[in-house]
Structure 1
Amino acid sequence: MTIDELVRQTFGEWAEQARVPSGDLAGSALRRRRWARTRTFAVAAGAAASVVVAAVTVPALVRGQEPRDDQGAATVVVAEPDPSTGTAADPDSSPPETLVAAGRAAAYSYYTWAEEKISEDRQVRKLTWHRYDRDLGRYEPTPWAWLDVARGGRAAAFLETVPASRVGVLTGRGTEVRWISLDRPAASVSWSPDATRLLLTNYSANPDESYVVEDGTQRTSTVNRTGFTVVDLAEGRSTFQGLPQHPDEMSSRNDIFWADDGTLVWEQSSSGSPMKRYYDLRGNAQAAPSKEADTYQQAGLSPDGRRLAVASPDRSAVVGVQDLTTGGTVPFNPAPGYWIEQSVAWADDERLIVWACERKGENDCVGGEFRNRLLLVGLNGGEAVPLSGYRENSQVADKSWQPDFTTR
């Protein structure tokens, strides 16, 4: 079976399941094909928020009656970037208790998840977000249903429920929240790369609900994405664009993400080729940017714009690194004692943060391929630096967690 065939088959099966958390597409794919035989699998692309220093005035964005929303203008100061570029690790904890960061990248938040039964035949997947608290020096749980933390770790955008009729913006060290009302309910939010806008994916109902049939298998609820909303914080304008679920998609949650330059947005495709569909901010289909890889590898473009994290060109590795000046791609697995399963973020131009399992001989991993940890690995090899403890099983709710990396 080719990787394209695997991806198509796996996504088809997910139409009969609840939504798999971002970053865990690999696990379900691996259930369909022996890891030791193929050494290759697909990984969901994440959308890491990147924020520049900015001070913007945010008028109240009120739609309808929202008595708790602010009625006046408010000045929102996006936090200064964190000047630190050293490595912060918690190699003995999973999930981590203290900050995980390396170079330009930091995981200022992570989430865990659980399936909660809401009726005899229905359940809902709920995320619990933890945010790094600078004053306490550790991650703390939040009451929010969805969270995206801006560069520097101080500014955050969040949803109280999924779906939500408003989005909260929390900045600096203060606790005052600015509420922005939405014309249509949303189930995800993320900062634009320049921190001037928010992107929300709108749904008519909770996309994380599912029902269970008699044999115990899960099936998603009715597809219900309605489009996306862009909130311009400086101009106080909220713009909705209708973009229903693509007819080929069967999973109810299919969020919209920012492209790297902030002029386009994209959604994941389950057809396998292309792996991402791009749109302009009016919802019109667009060609993929030249420097964004059509791959499930999460790290994407290196800071200097010279390299892309992509799929490996052969089965000697899962991750590949493409040199954009030459067009050549080389397999990437330079970590002694580990098998690299997924790229996560670039620490700098020469180092990647990855998920990796501990090797057990040549063709297996200690505890299986779903037991993995975050590593910092150089492109030219050398010692791998553990950044977190091992997730005992990246597919099981009470044994896993998912970091959200952004620029610091």
Structure 2
Amino acid sequence: MSITQFRNDSKLINIVFKDRLDRKFTIESRINEPITTLLNRNHIPIDSVIVRKNNVIIDDWQERIEHDGEYTIEMVRAYHLPDFLSLLRLWDTKAAQGKIKIREDSFYTKRMFLHNDDDGDYTATQTSFNKEEFVQYMEKTFSDGINLHNLIEPGETIGLAMSGGRDSLSLGYFLSNTKKDLPDFNISSIHVGTFSKPAETKFANEIANQFGFDFKLVNDDDVKKIFNLKVSPHEVLEFIKYDLNKSYSIGATHVIMRAAVESEAKKQGLKKITYGLMTEDIMASIIKSMFVGMPFSGPIKKSFGRFDLIYPLWSISKKELTLYLEAMVPQHNKQGSPSIFERGAFSRDIYYLVADTIETILPGAGMQLFLAQKMTNEFLKPYQYSECKNCGVTYSLSYRPEKHNIVLDAHDDSDQELCDLCKILEKHNYIS
């Protein structure tokens, strides 16, 4: 079972890959190729394998493939990596052979790994759409995502942070095109021109008029008044980026823009504000919070001081958003380069890379992550522990099933103080 079709090329050699199920696969490598490059190119996690050269384990981080070596890659973890990579089409093995193109007019294929609560496993699904079907699917996904979480209440006016870029533009199109499927609402579009190009400010105004949104421009002088600055906002950010810490510049830019939006919202008496954060934006924020230990609330809506923040694009990825604009208004599907202050350090980029990678290997992970965050925030209480009266194991009492509408039956009474396993065993009469 080979991953690629080998060419008759003396610079190419075959590498044996062994999994923990005693199966062997053949991987094509090039002479002088770093072993780490070979592993990454074939989507093999470096820490999941060891590499042998002529039956001797070598440091895969510091070695290249040599013409006189016989190499074997051996998995150290017992999971179905070849099958999984084949399912995701990261490997082209017999497990994934056959016709790839299902329909000739396909514009986009939605992939999802859905967790099956019945057997605890994942089920892989995919659906292909032509361009017209894709637009309909996206708009239904958008409106369903709003209605599912009651993001919009009837009769309210929402402040829309409109930058003029793809994210806020698509959010404007979605809100306008799905209005019939949503509660009655009004939009007040707020554009912060401080870090925008003149063309972007002009475009944000034109789009607001097109959608019938009220429009308010917050300019440099407004921002100076909000922050009581002695210098221009650009001078402040130049100091932060070049003299203080470049990783702060994008955060400072966002704070300035958010303060400007909130200031205008206060003047208009608005309680609810919406931003164009989509799936990966929220995922990256959650992942960062996990790594650096900062609190994260939401993730789809949250109370934020006097405001309620909502993210109607939560169920839509950046790729889907871009394709939606391409299908609807290709002339507007342009994304200018970010300003120098919106180009963060690697410390920001890495979380987007992690989010994108997770979605590649576990399509639909964002939806599960958001649900898990919501459950964690709502259903956990301070950690408490007890010992099971049947087996004696220590278990946590932190999860409160009654808050998740889970009704415990007579055999699952929490007063029995059994661990989860013993509750199952007791329910099915395996405990005497």
The TM-score, its normalising length taken from structure 2, stands at 0.22
Larger proportion of strand: 1
The TM-score, its normalising length taken from structure 1, stands at 0.23
Larger proportion of helix: 2
